[in-house]
Amino acid sequence: MLEWFAANARDLPWRRTRDPYAIWVSEIMLQQTQVKTVIPFWNRWLRELPTIEAAAKAPSAKIHKLWEGLGYYTRVRNLQKAAKQIIAQHRSGVSAERRKLDEIKKCGFLPKAATMPVLKKFQPETPHVVSCKFPEKFDDVLALPGVGRYTAGAICSIAFNQPTPILDGNVIRVLTRIFGIAENPKEKESNKLLWHISEELVSHAKTQSSRRKNKNFAVLASLREENSCSHLNQSLMELGALVCTPRNPQCLICPVKKLCVAFKENLTEELPNIGKREAATARHFVAFIIERNGEFLVQQRPIGIVNAHLWEFPNFETNGEKKDARGIFDSAFNFKAAKFQPLCTVKHSITRYRITLEAFRVQLPKHLKTLGGIWLPRARFDSLAFTAAHKKLASFAKNCILSDR
Ligand code: SF4
């Protein structure tokens, strides 16, 4: 697996650093999100907020804007909470910049300065700032908000080369197939077994590198000694992403096919045994693009609900029934619109929900003042973080309303 990883690993930006902060950000972004989606978000985040201190101090609107489109916004709020916790509990007295350059030097890959925002940002002349240090102990990492056992294991192995196991969807698929585990991996006993296997593998990787060094694998082994746990865990993730895929795994080019029970016994379709997926649920909403004097009404979602802090146009769920949008508007706002017309329908999927948003353009008399929310000129739509469905709506409304002027 280590040799396969060395030859086949994708050149991902967070693989060019051993900076635990950068690796932590990548791991949080990668929860529930694909690699290709995360790359531009990660680059932008590291460019705008290159240190733990910067992430801790950033205004709420800024972190939500940087996360806009990634979804699961509790992740970004937890990330900031955790950054504040690190500052409160792990002050180091070492400059953030010095530490970052040292961590970059330790990296197993050769960094390309031109493609690496962290390097470009941290030149040696950057002024010295006393700062905090990312915790190295597994239990301290696990204690951070938003960090579970998988994420703590990934950070400690990738950033500090500790033999800490990982187990996510990709790794579950790879391990259940290689070891022929037929039980549902979510069940307590099989889950425990999978964590145990993952731990054995990463611990073995650590001993393997020193043994090889003794046998004169000097260059390769010295790289591995620095990275063997990191690379073993990443090789499991990478095999799951590139070769041992959910459908049509490419067993013929797989580095572990000779050991793999699922391959030998033709069980790749059956494993992992994750039971039936939850059925998709349709949800219908009406939304109102309310215009007054060239500005549009937007409202911020309150704390404590999904997509809290994000912005949206006023909207109402209709429980799947085709309802009279005009009637909903009149009773919600208690006055008559000057103009009311259908604008567009937006479809959006999130987890098991298939959302249909039917939008209407509403024009109000100039004198009308408050409706709860803020009035925003369309040129400023991009300054706020919208929920994904309402971002689509904002962009449609912007183009459509512009074109009819
Ligand atoms: Fe997955 Fe096939 Fe490799 Fe087994 S041989 S680990 S099923 S890709």
> Which atom of ligand 1 is the closest one to the Cα of 271?
7
* CA 58 to ligand 1 centroid distance, Å: 44
> Which atom of ligand 1 is the closest one to the Cα of 249?
8
Please identify which of the residues 27, 68, 238, 312 carries the catalytic annotation.
27
* CA 251 to ligand 1 centroid distance, Å: 5
Centroid of chain to Cα 54: 19
> Which atom of ligand 1 is the closest one to the Cα of 257?
5
Looking at residue 46, what is its pLDDT? 98
> Which atom of ligand 1 is the closest one to the Cα of 243?
8
Looking at residue 96, what is its pLDDT? 59
Block residue for tokens 């990982």: 166
How many other β-carbons are positioned within 10 Å of the β-carbon of residue 262? Answer: 25
374's CB contacts (< 8 A; 6+ apart) are 297, 298, 299
Pick the closest to residue 386 from 299, 305, 316, 302 (CA basis).
Answer: 299
Instruction: Please indicate whether residue 265 is annotated as part of the active site.
Output: no
Looking at residue 322, what is its pLDDT? 61
Q: Which helix (H) or strand (E) holds 397?
A: helix 388-403
User: Which residue has the CA at smallest separation from atom 1 of ligand 1?
Assistant: 244
Looking at residue 130, what is its pLDDT? 46
* CA 198 to ligand 1 centroid distance, Å: 16
Ligand 1 pocket, mutate which of 244, 250, 253, 271 (most atoms under 8 A from CB): 244
* CA 174 to ligand 1 centroid distance, Å: 7
How many other β-carbons are positioned within 10 Å of the β-carbon of residue 30? Answer: 19
Ligand 1 pocket, mutate which of 268, 269, 270, 271 (most atoms under 8 A from CB): 268
Distance CA 289, CA 376 (A): 11
User: Which residue has the CA at smallest separation from atom 4 of ligand 1?
Assistant: 260
* CA 169 to ligand 1 centroid distance, Å: 15
Range 34-51 burial, b when 16+ CB lie within 10 A, else e:
ebeebeebbbebbebbbb
DSSP per residue, 179-233 = HT--S-TTSHHHHHHHHHHHHHHHHHHHHHHHHHHHTT-HHHHHHHHHHHHHHHH
Under 8 Å between Cβ of 248 and 254: no
pLDDT, averaged in runs of 10, over the chain (405 residues): 95 95 98 96 98 97 96 96 94 61 54 44 42 92 98 98 97 98 97 98 82 45 69 97 97 98 97 88 93 89 92 90 81 81 91 91 72 86 93 84 57
Q: Ligand 1: which residues within 6 Å by Cβ?
A: 174, 177-178, 243-244, 249-251, 254, 256-257, 260, 262-263, 268
> Which atom of ligand 1 is the closest one to the Cα of 268?
7
Ligand 1 pocket, mutate which of 1, 176, 178, 264 (most atoms under 8 A from CB): 178
* CA 259 to ligand 1 centroid distance, Å: 9
pTM (predicted TM-score): 0.82
> Which atom of ligand 1 is the closest one to the Cα of 251?
2
Ligand 1 pocket, mutate which of 256, 258, 266, 270 (most atoms under 8 A from CB): 256
Looking at residue 18, what is its pLDDT? 92
Q: Give the tokens for residue 230.
A: 């990191």
* CA 181 to ligand 1 centroid distance, Å: 13
H helical segments located in 243-317 = 261-264
